[in-house]
Amino acid sequence: MAPKVEVELDKLKKETLDMWTLVYNQLQRAGEAVLTLDKDLARQVILRERRVNAFELKIDSDVEDIIALYNPVAVQLRFVLAVLKTNTNLERIGDFAEGIARFVLDFKEPAVDPELLKRLHLAEMIDNVLAMLQTLHEALQKENSTLASRLFDMDGSVDEINRAAPDILVAYILENPAVNAKDALRLSGIFRKLERVGDHCTNIAEEIIFYLDAKVLKHQGKNNPDQP
């Protein structure tokens, strides 16, 4: 029979992966909502945000209990600390999903020009951040630091799309004087939120590598503010 601490750590890992799935689904729905301006779907994302917050509090509490009761050391301690920080990053990603959903509710126009969305590569950016989350989920589940390391290259494409978005939006507004310029410019906020999601994914990758390989990568790459 496994020691009690191992049982508790396995439960903590399962809880973390379950929260991951919830946050992934939130971001997936928010992305679909912004591409289609589906306000009902956006409302679902906002309502489910409370579940993300409750999950975060539960995992934080469980981490505190494990540290207090079992005094983990070495790889066990690295795992618990990595979960604690990963939990915070996942909650922030949930916040960004909610922020994207609120944008959909506030958008005045009935639709976004499909040609503009194509030029902005918004669907590609959404797919990229979802792929990052999925890769990280697999990396933790399989305890594979090589998978986690892929995130740093994946984040580059997200940054590239984000950097190009403002100029594309300005050019579109100048080409289409009748367009609602305020709504078009507010689209840039979606790109900033998705770029922040990418940053939080790289933070999680660093935590997984810290847990598995005892390597500290923090501050070796970029570190952006995360306003939702």
Answer whether 55's CB lies under 8 Å from 17's CB. no
- The H-assigned helical ranges of the chain are 4-36, 39-70, 74-106, 114-120, 122-142, 145-149, 151-175, 181-213
Do the Cβ atoms of 27 and 197 come closer than 8 Å?
Answer: yes
Give the range of the structural domain holding residue 209, as residue numbers without chain letter. 4-213
220 belongs to a structural domain: no
Residue 225 clears pLDDT 50, i.e. is over it: no
Kindly report, residue by residue over 148-201, the tens digit of the pLDDT.
Answer: 999 999 999 999 999 999 999 999 989 988 777 787 778 899 999 999 999 999
Q: Indicate the number of domains in the chain.
A: 1
Write the CA distances from 154 to 55, 71, 108, 135, integer angstroms. Answer: 27, 36, 33, 10
Residue 223's pLDDT band (boundaries 50, 70, 90)? very low
Tell me, yes or no, whether 224 lies in a domain: no
Please name the residue that has the structure tokens 């609120």.
102
Residue-wise pLDDT for 29-69, tens only, equals: 999 999 999 999 999 999 999 999 999 999 999 999 999 99
Q: Does residue 83 lie within any of the structural domains?
A: yes
Count the residues in the chain: 228
For residue 1, name the pLDDT band (cuts at 50, 70, 90).
very low
Has residue 219 been placed in a domain?
Answer: no
Query: And the tokens for 194?
Result: 């998705």
**Domain presence at residue 218:** no
pLDDT class of 218 with cuts at 50, 70, 90:
low
Residue 5 burial (C-beta neighbours within 10 Å; 0-12, 13-18, 19+): middle
Q: How high is the pLDDT of residue 178?
A: 77
Q: Which residues contact 58 (CB under 8 A, 6 or more apart)?
A: 15
Average pLDDT score over the chain: 91
Split at pLDDT 50, 70, 90, the class of 107 is confident
Rounded to two decimals, the pTM is: 0.91
Q: Give domain status of residue 64, yes or no.
A: yes
Residue 139 lies inside a defined structural domain of this protein: yes
> Residue 168 belongs to a domain with what CATH number?
1.20.58.220
Q: Note whether residue 30 is domain-resident.
A: yes
Confidence of residue 224 (pLDDT cuts 50, 70, 90): very low
